[in-house]
């Protein structure tokens, strides 16, 4: 460093004072002189560049050939490896075909075409005269139409225009046959419906559910249901067994679990992803989409993340044969909140 | 028109063809206008080209895919060559995607090319917009083209999302499920919109077909229209250029379209295509056969949306679970609504409005064809970086689970930190960026005034050591001194002599933006600096001479 970096910003002139932007500016020295390239000066370099461009084009031709070798030469069988190999050959063939042409042309432009920068003046796109004329014409058009002098016509037209848009919106009503939000309140679960394994549909005995285990559960008969996916999107349940002492059961829910076996909706109350991760040690349920965390011991209360209310609990019991059954539907709508949920 | 005899006699073969075409359909004026039109050259101008070219590749590969894809959600059982899925129940849409991948030769390549091009398309649109923003290319007369660009970004996102949902695999189904959950959070009409969109309850059997029409017809048609308007305006305005010797507000310096620019730009299309082909050949993307058909029950942990959706998903993750309440028996879920709408709304509103905000603050209504170097507009660069940081915090939040598992930190801590950064990051980004810009400007000043540090240390006869500085040539000097540095413009009284409240606000913003500024070097300053040097460093210059 020299001796020039002394001084505070205010004394060194680094910070300008008012009005300084009006002071004279440096003169534009104009375009820098053109620096000739090697190919401009040396005929051998020029010849070499020409050969390089041609070679690149030949590489492109080879790439196209490679594509057809892969297309006709590789017979797809049932293995992923063959598929991958064909994909690689077709892709690289295309890549060479394209890059050969592309790099070749760019190289050609950069080495052999003239590289003198050219100056072009910007032209005034529009003149103020035209603008005045346009304003006049529009004014005349409006005047002759009389739209500003006849508010009755103008206002009825606006009214008619606004109304005429409504059918264009209303006609979409039949995008859905059924618009009753009440359907979101009910699931396939009902008193006596057995809890079965997802996806096989085999019923679950209470004795199969050991402490610490977790089951993905669907209602019996779901696989045969008419609207299977729609029902499943509401009805999937997680079944877990805890030590009954660890469960904090709120009044009114005493008979919703069976010997520490509890069932909760698997649909996250945030935006509806399946809450698929069960942490056995902490008794936490975690939604992999947005990390909402529910505490199983506290009736799946939200303890972290963006969900705002607990996972709905499915009241369960056992039937005469020892299979787990629901004793009713969920007592609240499952899944994300919606306006009519209440 | 009665004169049917040609007075113009072409001399060359090209001339005869031109004559034939022009006397029948015209077109010579187009050649005259564009044949030698000048385009300035700079690497940063390539982003827009990449965007255009990847869109063309999207159209080509997408058209191929439509010949084989069937958007039906009817149930079927798989009976194709991929053994692990044999007999599995799935939708026809998913099955036809498997078919494209496994049975159509080149189908997998086209799928991968299409998906990678889509990622590149949104990325290049984004980088192009950042380039335009940071160089101030949106200023008059190009404000409207900036707005068209913002619309194009939204359309690009829409195209990407509608396409992502088509294969009806587990990932796309879960993506739709999230959309459904967000829509249901809209007050008053949310539930109905959801029921209408899905043709009943989620997932229904309509959504893929409906998104397909949007994806292959409506959205691309709008994009094409907007691109046409965008390019038309580029021609009307002529391209901007970076500042430099010989470049003024009233000229364009660069290469003519024919042949150099056309060759470079045309060749570049093939280069972009080639690079995308390399990626599609080697890097698997969305291996739908690994995820299986959509089923509302399973979900795979650690999955990520396509990169451009990440920021909205991340915002959903960052929000704490508060703000859901019941009022008059109706549920309002701010915990979903707020993150889904507020950050995107804020970002896009500021983006659309920025040209007018800046013009309001600076009262600069002049035309600008010379770009700003980002360092020479510290306030704008600071604001831009603040926006980028804001976006990137949300983007990072979309990977909060992967950050936690990869770096062995608590997921909750990652979320807490990102929540803090959501608010602090943009502020820090603005302050630090502005300081860096000012520092770079001061460095430019120093170089302009005192020349380049050569690294040569010379000992003077009386024992002092100095470093020799080499003065810049005129061209390099001009690059460093030729810029404008806006100043604080205090609130001005209007004609009636009042200072309105909005004007006071404008004055305050102007102070905030331009209080700290670095002025360009003036010829007088350079003069002073040189005479100062001559005094102190004269012996050094002698030493330099003797060294030759």
For B171-180, what is each residue's pLDDT tens digit?
A: 999 999 999 9
Q: What are the structure tokens assigned to B399, written together?
A: 């990977």
Question: B534: pLDDT confidence band, cut at 50, 70 and 90?
Answer: low
Q: Which of A23, A103, A276 sits opposite B522 (nearest CB)?
A: A23
Question: B532: pLDDT confidence band, cut at 50, 70 and 90?
Answer: low
Local structure of A1: helix, strand or coil = coil
Instruction: List the CATH number of the domain containing B92.
Output: 1.20.810.10
Share of chain A above pLDDT 70, in %: 93
pLDDT above 60: residue A75 = yes
- Segment A191-248, tens digit of pLDDT: 999 999 988 999 999 999 998 889 999 999 999 998 999 999 999 999 999 998 999 9
Q: Suggest the residue from A171, A339, A341 to mutate for an interface test with chain B (most B CBs closer than 10 A).
A: A339
Domain enclosing residue B97, as ranges? 48-247+261-296
Q: What is the DSSP secondary-structure string of B90-135?
A: EEHHHHHHHHHHHTSTTHHHHHHHHHHHHHHHHHHHHHHHHHHHHH
Residues 428-467 of B with CB under 8 A from A: 442, 445-446, 449-450, 453, 466-467
Identify whether B356 is part of a domain. Answer: no
- Segment A145-204, tens digit of pLDDT: 988 889 999 999 999 999 999 999 999 999 998 889 999 999 999 999 999 998 899 999
Q: Do B271 and A2 touch (CB under 8 A)?
A: no
Quote the DSSP letter at residue B257: I
Q: Which of A95, A272, A309 sits opposite B181 (nearest CB)?
A: A272
Cβ count within 10 A of residue B356: 11
Q: Which helix (H) or strand (E) holds B455?
A: strand B452-459
Q: Do B321 and A99 touch (CB under 8 A)?
A: no
Q: Do A14 and B38 touch (CB under 8 A)?
A: no
B258 interface with A at CB cutoff 8 Å? no
Q: Do A26 and B237 touch (CB under 8 A)?
A: no
Question: B4: pLDDT confidence band, cut at 50, 70 and 90?
Answer: low
In A, which residues are within 8 Å of B269 by CB distance? 102
Q: What are the structure tokens assigned to A47, written together?
A: 């010849």
The distance of A325 to chain B (nearest Cα, Å) reads 20
The residues, ordered by sequence, that sit 6+ positions from B95 with a Cβ below 8 Å of its Cβ are B70, B76, B78, B80
Torsion of CA A43, A45, A46, A49, to 10 degrees: 160
Q: Suggest the residue from A91, A239, A304 to mutate for an interface test with chain B (most B CBs closer than 10 A).
A: A91
Question: What was the pLDDT predicted at A275?
Answer: 93
Query: Which residue shows structure tokens 């009042």?
Result: B498
For residues A232 and A195, give the distance between their C-alpha atoms in angstroms, rounded to a whole number. Answer: 13
pLDDT above 50: residue A21 = no
Q: Which of A21, A101, A122 sits opposite B487 (nearest CB)?
A: A21
Average pLDDT of chain B to the nearest whole number:
91
Question: Under a CB-based contact definition with an 8 Å cutoff, are residues A283 and A296 in contact?
Answer: yes
Local structure of B328: helix, strand or coil = coil
Name the domain count of chain B: 1
Identify whether B19 is part of a domain. Answer: no
Question: What was the pLDDT predicted at A1?
Answer: 34
In B, which residues are within 8 Å of A277 by CB distance? 301
For residues A4 and A14, give the distance between their C-alpha atoms in angstroms, rounded to a whole number. Answer: 12
Q: Do B195 and A179 touch (CB under 8 A)?
A: yes
In B, which residues are within 8 Å of A227 by CB distance? 201
Question: What was the pLDDT predicted at B55?
Answer: 98
Quote the DSSP letter at residue B261: I
Residue of A nearest to B182 (CA): A271
Question: Under a CB-based contact definition with an 8 Å cutoff, are residues B385 and B379 in contact?
Answer: no
Q: Which of B245, B330, B332 sits opposite A30 (nearest CB)?
A: B245
pLDDT above 80: residue B328 = yes
Question: What was the pLDDT predicted at B497?
Answer: 86
- Segment A87-97, tens digit of pLDDT: 999 999 999 99
Q: Class for domain A184-341, per CATH?
A: mainly beta
Q: Do B519 and A14 touch (CB under 8 A)?
A: yes
Q: What is the DSSP secondary-structure string of B389-440?
A: HHHHHHHHHTTHHHHHHHHT--HHHHHHHHHHHHHHHHHHHHHHHHHHHHHH
The distance of B272 to chain A (nearest Cα, Å) reads 8
Q: At what angle do helices B143-164 and B107-135 cross, to 10 degrees?
A: 150
pLDDT above 90: residue B358 = yes
Average pLDDT over residues B417-444: 96
Binning chain B into helix, strand and coil, the percentages to the nearest 5 are 65, 5, 30
B416 interface with A at CB cutoff 8 Å? no
Q: How many residues does chain B have?
A: 548
Residue of B nearest to A232 (CA): B296
Q: Do A288 and B481 touch (CB under 8 A)?
A: no
Q: At what angle do helices B501-514 and B334-362 cross, to 10 degrees?
A: 90
In B, which residues are within 8 Å of A89 by CB distance? 281
Average pLDDT over residues B284-290: 90
Q: Which of A4, A71, A106 sits opposite B449 (nearest CB)?
A: A4
- Residue B217's alpha-carbon distances to B71, B113, B165, B228, in angstroms, are 14, 20, 15, 16
Q: Do B185 and A337 touch (CB under 8 A)?
A: yes
The residues, ordered by sequence, that sit 6+ positions from A331 with a Cβ below 8 Å of its Cβ are A312, A313, A315
The distance of A146 to chain B (nearest Cα, Å) reads 31
Nearest to B305 by CA among B176, B206, B123: B176
Q: Of residues B468 and B394, which shows the higher confidence score?
A: B394
Share of chain B above pLDDT 70, in %: 96
Q: Do A16 and B106 touch (CB under 8 A)?
A: no
For residues B205 and B75, give the distance between their C-alpha atoms in angstroms, rounded to a whole number. Answer: 9
In B, which residues are within 8 Å of A175 by CB distance? 196-197, 199, 206
Question: What was the pLDDT predicted at A9?
Answer: 40
pLDDT above 80: residue A24 = no
Nearest to B298 by CA among A312, A273, A314, A231: A273
Q: Do B277 and A94 touch (CB under 8 A)?
A: yes
Binning chain A into helix, strand and coil, the percentages to the nearest 5 are 40, 15, 45
The distance of B223 to chain A (nearest Cα, Å) reads 23
pLDDT above 70: residue B333 = yes
Q: Do A120 and B277 touch (CB under 8 A)?
A: no
Q: Suggest the residue from A291, A293, A303, A309 to mutate for an interface test with chain B (most B CBs closer than 10 A).
A: A291
Question: What was the pLDDT predicted at A53?
Answer: 97
Share of chain A above pLDDT 90, in %: 73
pTM of the model: 0.91
The residues, ordered by sequence, that sit 6+ positions from B113 with a Cβ below 8 Å of its Cβ are A91, B57, B61, B276, B277, B280
For residues B436 and B300, give the distance between their C-alpha atoms in angstroms, rounded to a whole number. Answer: 43
Q: Do B253 and A104 touch (CB under 8 A)?
A: no
Structural domain boundaries in chain A: 38-111, 184-341
Q: What are the structure tokens assigned to B332, written together?
A: 């309002």
The residues, ordered by sequence, that sit 6+ positions from A77 with a Cβ below 8 Å of its Cβ are B81
Q: What is the ipTM of this complex?
A: 0.89
Question: What was the pLDDT predicted at B29?
Answer: 83
Q: Which of A292, A307, A339 sits opposite B191 (nearest CB)?
A: A339
Q: What are the structure tokens assigned to A15, written together?
A: 């910070």
Cβ count within 10 A of residue B546: 7
């Amino acid at each position: 460093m020299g001796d020039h970096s002394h001084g505070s910003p205010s004394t060194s002139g680094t910070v300008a004072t008012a009005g300084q932007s009006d002071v004279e500016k440096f003169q534009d020295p104009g375009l820098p002189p053109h620096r000739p390239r090697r190919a401009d000066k040396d005929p051998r370099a020029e010849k070499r560049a020409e050969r390089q461009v041609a070679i690149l084009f030949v590489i492109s031709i080879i790439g196209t050939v490679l594509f057809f070798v892969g297309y006709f030469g590789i017979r797809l069988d049932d293995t992923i490896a063959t598929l991958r190999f064909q994909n690689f050959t077709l892709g690289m063939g295309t890549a060479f075909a394209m890059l050969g042409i592309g790099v070749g042309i760019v190289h050609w432009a950069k080495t052999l075409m003239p590289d003198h920068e050219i100056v072009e003046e910007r032209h005034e796109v529009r003149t103020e005269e035209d603008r005045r004329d346009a304003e006049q014409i529009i004014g005349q058009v409006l005047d002759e139409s009389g739209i500003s002098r006849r508010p009755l016509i103008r206002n009825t037209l606006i009214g008619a225009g606004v109304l005429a848009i409504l059918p264009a919106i209303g006609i979409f009503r039949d995008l859905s046959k059924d618009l009753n939000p009440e359907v979101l309140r009910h699931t396939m679960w009902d008193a006596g419906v057995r809890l079965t394994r997802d996806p096989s549909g085999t019923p679950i005995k209470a004795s199969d559910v050991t402490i610490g285990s977790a089951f993905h559960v669907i209602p019996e008969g779901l696989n045969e249901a008419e609207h299977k996916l729609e029902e499943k999107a509401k009805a999937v349940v997680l079944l877990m067994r805890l030590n009954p002492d660890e469960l904090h059961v709120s009044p009114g829910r005493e008979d919703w679990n069976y010997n520490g076996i509890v069932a909760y909706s698997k649909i996250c109350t945030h935006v509806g992803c399946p809450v698929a991760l069960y942490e056995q040690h902490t008794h936490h349920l975690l939604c992999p989409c947005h990390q909402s965390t529910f505490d199983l011991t506290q009736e799946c209360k939200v303890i972290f993340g963006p969900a705002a209310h607990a996972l709905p609990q499915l009241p369960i019991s056992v039937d005469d044969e020892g299979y787990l059954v629901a004793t009713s539907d969920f007592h609240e709508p499952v899944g994300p909140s919606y306006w009519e949920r209440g | 028109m009665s004169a049917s005899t040609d007075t113009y006699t072409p001399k060359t073969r090209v001339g005869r063809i031109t004559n034939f075409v022009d006397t029948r359909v015209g077109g010579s004026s187009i050649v005259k206008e564009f044949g030698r039109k000048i385009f300035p050259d700079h690497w940063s101008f390539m982003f827009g080209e990449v965007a255009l070219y990847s869109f063309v590749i999207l159209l080509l590969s997408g058209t191929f895919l439509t010949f084989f894809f069937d958007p039906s959600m009817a149930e079927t059982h798989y009976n194709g060559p991929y053994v692990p899925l044999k007999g599995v129940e799935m939708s026809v849409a998913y099955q036809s995607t498997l078919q494209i991948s496994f049975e159509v030769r080149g189908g997998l390549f086209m799928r991968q090319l299409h998906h990678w091009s889509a990622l590149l398309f949104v990325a290049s649109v984004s980088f192009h917009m950042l380039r335009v923003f940071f160089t101030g290319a949106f200023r008059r007369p190009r404000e409207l083209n900036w707005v068209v660009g913002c619309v194009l970004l939204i359309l690009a996102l829409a195209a990407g999302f509608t396409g992502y949902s088509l294969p009806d695999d587990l990932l796309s189904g879960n993506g739709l499920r999230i959309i459904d959950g967000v829509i249901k959070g809209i007050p008053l009409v949310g539930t109905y919109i959801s029921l209408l969109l899905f043709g009943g309850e989620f997932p229904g059997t309509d959504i893929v077909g409906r998104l397909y029409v949007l994806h292959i017809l409506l959205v691309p048609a709008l994009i094409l229209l907007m691109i046409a308007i965008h390019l038309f305006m580029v021609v009307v305005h002529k391209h901007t250029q970076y500042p430099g010797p010989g470049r003024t507000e009233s000229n364009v310096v660069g290469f003519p379209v024919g042949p150099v620019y056309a060759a470079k730009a045309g060749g570049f299309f093939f280069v972009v295509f080639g690079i995308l082909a390399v990626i599609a050949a080697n890097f698997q993307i969305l291996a739908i056969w690994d995820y299986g058909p959509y089923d509302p029950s399973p979900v795979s942990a650690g999955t990520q949306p396509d990169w451009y959706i990440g920021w909205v998903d991340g915002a959903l993750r960052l929000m704490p679970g508060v703000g859901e309440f019941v009022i008059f028996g109706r549920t309002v879920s701010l915990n979903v609504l707020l993150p889904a709408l507020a950050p995107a709304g804020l970002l896009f509103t500021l983006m659309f409005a920025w040209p007018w905000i800046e013009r309001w603050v600076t009262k600069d209504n002049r035309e600008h064809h010379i770009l700003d170097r980002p360092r020479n507009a510290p306030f704008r660069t600071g604001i831009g970086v603040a926006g980028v940081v804001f976006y990137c915090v949300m983007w990072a939040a979309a990977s909060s689970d992967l950050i936690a598992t990869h770096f062995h930190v608590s997921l909750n801590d990652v979320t807490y930190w990102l929540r803090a950064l959501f608010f602090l990051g943009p502020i820090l980004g603005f302050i630090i960026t502005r300081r860096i810009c000012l520092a770079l400007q001061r460095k430019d000043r120093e170089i302009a005034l005192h020349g380049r540090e050569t690294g040569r240390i010379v000992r003077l006869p009386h024992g002092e050591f100095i470093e020799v500085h080499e003065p810049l040539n005129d061209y390099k000097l001009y690059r460093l001194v030729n810029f404008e540095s806006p100043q604080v413009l205090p609130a001005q009284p209007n004609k009636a002599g009042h200072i309105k409240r909005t004007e006071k606000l404008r004055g305050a913003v102007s102070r905030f933006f331009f209080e700290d500024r670095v002025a360009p070097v003036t010829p007088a300053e350079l003069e002073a600096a040189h005479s100062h040097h001559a005094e102190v460093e004269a012996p050094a210059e002698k030493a330099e001479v003797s060294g030759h």
